[in-house]
Amino acid sequence: MVPHLTTALTGPLLDLEQRILDAMPRIEHWLRTQWLTHETPFYASVDLRNAGFKLAPVDTNLFPGGFNNLNPDFLPLCVQAAMAAVEKICPEAQRLLLIPENHTRNSFYLQNVAALLNILRQAGLDVRVGSISPEITEPTRLALPQGGELLLEPVQRKGNRLVLEGFESCAVLLNNDLSGGIPEILQNLEQTVTPPLHAGWAMRRKSNHFAAYTRVAREFAELIDIDPWLVDPLHASCGMIDFQARVGEDCLAGQVSDLLSQIGAKYREYGVEQEPFVIVKADAGTYGMGIMTVKSPDDVRGLNRKQRNKMSVVKEGLQVQEVFIQEGVYTFENMHEAVAEPVIYMMDHYVVGGFYRVHTGRGIDENLNAPGMHFVPLAFDTPCSLPDCAGKPDAAPNRFYAYGVIARLALLAASIELEETAPDVA
């Protein structure tokens, strides 16, 4: 189960949501058995799109950066789940070294680190933040916008261990997605590093994740007797694309064309009248750069210089070489007349909260993970604030349950993806 949350949607439950709710014991049982054989990521966030007829993940982040956006009411849930997560990675650990992203001037991100730190400390860990940024050469106190400060200390390498001055830890927790590659200082550590290095974007590929997701979705769809497409965005990929040199355009246009006609066929099957679209992303990218919305194969041919620049540079200047093409899912949800996308947070295999990503300037067919978006935290469902709520045997789980289920399917896919892409230990 997941917390009772409110969503941007009101009105009766949609068919798909209702079907997921009805199958709750079967779903929870199936998920429980999955976690017997698959290792849960330490934490994750999943971006969902709810098109009404279809509810699907569009991105799974293994280094979530928005813990500050969670409703503070969820803090005890986060703490409890963090205790479970810590017991798995390092049950005998008392100290944990947290390694954040290097962007120390992004105060939103610093608040995320502070929120995560708070959760881990409340879980009873002695945690310190070790920066691998070249700018942090001595202990540095950074003021937080809402009061308090964050202490970043320079990480030191001692043999095959990372330490801070006077601080040795059994495990290293990464909140750094390694988009710029795996720094030498993190390689071949004897400490437990979680998530593992191959979960970072230096090695991770969206295509692997969604390939695993497709298999998970198929099994899930069979379980509750639905068409897997209702929870799974179609996808394809192209290797060796160089937008600047116009290499690989044919592959891309071909895949786009194929996907669009598959989506079109599905839309006709379900009587959906909107125009099919796909999202083209860097297969190893993140941060909303290198993403375009495409409604025709022609859209990816003859890109102008500005478009090509946009597509060929992602975070920390990595060149795009592999491209992931994903079925676009229209969002059915909006908030204050702006498009809203739910983001679900998990620690260990527990859903611990979420928030809406809202962007007033964006359309229902665009990516919302972009600079300038607003966040709206999800709140507990009000019916549950009545004193007799816990006592009612027939209290209706609300629509958010379906979001928590789909997010956990993506979590399971991430787990399988990490197993399958783990480098040989030999």
**In whole angstroms, what is the distance from residue 187 CA to residue 161 CA?**
10
**Which is nearest to 175 in space by CA: 131, 221, 230?**
131
For 45, the enclosing helix (H) or strand (E) is strand 43-50
Decide if residue 29 touches a copy of itself (CB under 8 A): yes
> In terms of CB distance, is 118 or 208 closer to a copy of itself?
118
> In terms of CB distance, is 146 or 304 closer to a copy of itself?
146
> In terms of CB distance, is 24 or 292 closer to a copy of itself?
24
Report the chain's C-alpha Rg in angstroms: 21
**In whole angstroms, what is the distance from residue 120 CA to residue 194 CA?**
14
> In terms of CB distance, is 24 or 226 closer to a copy of itself?
24
Site for a copy of itself in 123-182 (CB under 8 A): 123-126, 144, 146-150
> In terms of CB distance, is 122 or 421 closer to a copy of itself?
122
Task: Out of 13, 75, 189, 292, point to the residue binding a copy of itself (CB under 8 A).
Answer: 75
Tell me if 407 sits within 8 A of 216, measured CB to CB. Answer: no
Closest separation in Å from C-beta 122 to a copy of itself? 4
Site for a copy of itself in 355-384 (CB under 8 A): 377, 380, 384
Closest separation in Å from C-beta 171 to a copy of itself? 12
Q: What is the DSSP string of 108-121?
A: HHHHHHHHHHHHHH
Decide if residue 117 touches a copy of itself (CB under 8 A): yes
Decide if residue 87 touches a copy of itself (CB under 8 A): yes
Please state, as a whole number, how many other Cβ atoms lie within 10 Å of the Cβ of residue 154.
17
Amino acid at 11: G
Task: Out of 390, 423, 424, 426, point to the residue binding a copy of itself (CB under 8 A).
Answer: 390
**In whole angstroms, what is the distance from residue 204 CA to residue 285 CA?**
9
CA 191 to chain centre: 25
Decide if residue 411 touches a copy of itself (CB under 8 A): no
Closest separation in Å from C-beta 253 to a copy of itself? 45
**Which is nearest to 199 in space by CA: 410, 422, 413?**
422
Site for a copy of itself in 48-67 (CB under 8 A): 67
Decide if residue 387 touches a copy of itself (CB under 8 A): yes
